[in-house]
Amino acid sequence: MKISVVIPLLNEAESLPELYEHLTEVLGGMEGDYEIIFVDDGSSDDSWEIIRSLSGRDRHVKGIKFSRNFGKSQALDAGFKKATGDVVVTMDADLQDDPAEIPGLVAMITDEGYDMVSCWKKKRKDPVLSKNLPSKLFNWAARTVSGIRLHDFNCGLKAYKGEVTRHIRVYGEMHRYIPFLAKQAGFERIGERPVRHHARKYGQTKFGSDRFIKGVLDLITLWFHMRFSRRPMYLFGGLGLLMFLIGGLSVAVILGVKAYKLMYGLPTHLVTDRPWFYISIASMLLGSQFFLAGFLGELILQQGERAGYYHIQEETD
């Protein structure tokens, strides 16, 4: 059996040597072969020089360097494509994830038959107001929308069967929802494991307050994917048809009332003097546009989805 550990990182030069030592100690004590894949997401410090040095003296270490910062999702996707292990483990490079948890995660995949195991930082070593409470709210919303009963969707420490990582594509900011992507790909045996969480030892977090806004937007994307990713016409076409019918019926009523009054010589006004006439016309136009959006969505879907874009500048073997 071979284990691949994929580690996306950005400006973590101080923590990399210590992380490498912990990983080799844990992985070296396990049966089978292993590889450590560092994915440098456009660091501006000495992270890549350290990775290249580690790769030069240890055949187990591989490195991928992006030409600039493309994001954690793209870094994970590149790491998944390079990974060759029967079991793939992902973790962050800031030393908050404990490598000692890896044997337990691997055992849940190999012995208990899980397709994927997501970790739960039950006792977080993060600020309560800025991270813990927003994280609880986010995870509650993600559980409600996805139907996957996990406490911590966003934990970077996860384990997968190798075939899972070879069948999913992580793009945009969807690294938060990898359990959902796995489920959508047909891998439904998703487990959870409480793990130790350490306080950050070096540097500062790379995620600002905007990550919560992105998380909400990605949650909307998740909802759309669950219901309409295969048939966007059901949403846009249905909404467009409804708006077009409401607008068309409203115009018919206005014109009918106008004709009735003219027929019986009743006082009347120009149709164009009534605001409701313009509202009805606008509803018909918007309905047509929604319907067209659904139609175009169907055509694009037939051509296949394009995975998240990134550019690899350099790699080590």
HEC profile for 129-163? HHHHHHHHHHHHHHHHHHCCCCCCCCCCCEEEEHH
pLDDT value for 268: 83
pLDDT: which is higher, 251 or 171: 251
Place of tokens 């440098």: 40
Backbone angles phi, psi at 245, to 5 degrees: -65, -40
Model confidence over 265-277: pLDDT tens digits?
888 888 788 888 8
pLDDT value for 305: 47
Of 52-66, 114-128, 176-190, the poorest mean pLDDT is in 114-128
Model confidence over 31-78: pLDDT tens digits?
999 999 999 999 999 999 999 999 999 999 999 999 999 999 999 999
pLDDT of 197 > 90? The answer is no
Model confidence over 210-232: pLDDT tens digits?
666 666 676 777 677 667 766 77
User: Residue 131 is encoded by which pair of tokens?
Assistant: 């991270």
Burial class of residue 75, CB neighbours in 10 A (0-12, 13-18, 19+):
buried
pLDDT value for 104: 96
User: What's the mean pLDDT in 189-198?
Assistant: 90
pLDDT value for 235: 80
Dihedral of alpha carbons 20, 22, 25, 28, sign:
negative
Backbone angles phi, psi at 162, to 5 degrees: -55, -35
Backbone angles phi, psi at 144, to 5 degrees: -65, -45
CA 130 to mean position of chain CA atoms:
21
Burial class of residue 270, CB neighbours in 10 A (0-12, 13-18, 19+):
exposed
Backbone angles phi, psi at 200, to 5 degrees: -65, 130
Q: Around 281, how many Cα atoms within 13 Å sit in the side-chain half-sphere?
A: 9
For residue 267, give the nearest of 277, 278, 258, 256 by alpha carbon. 258
pLDDT value for 211: 61
Model confidence over 79-100: pLDDT tens digits?
999 999 999 999 999 999 999 9
Report how many helices (DSSP H) and strands (DSSP E) the chain contains, helices first: 10, 8
pLDDT value for 209: 56
d(CA 161, CA 176): 18
pLDDT value for 307: 45
Model confidence over 292-315: pLDDT tens digits?
888 887 677 656 544 455 668 788
Model confidence over 127-178: pLDDT tens digits?
544 556 667 777 787 787 777 888 888 889 999 999 999 999 888 778 888 9
pLDDT value for 212: 64
d(CA 122, CA 86): 28
pLDDT value for 125: 59
pTM value is: 0.73
Instruction: Judge whether 117 and 125 are in contact, CB under 8 Å.
Output: no
For residue 205, give the nearest of 153, 156, 172, 133 by alpha carbon. 156
Residues 6+ apart with CB under 8 A from 144: none
pLDDT value for 77: 95
pLDDT: which is higher, 221 or 103: 103
pLDDT value for 208: 53
Mean pLDDT, the chain, rounded, equals 86
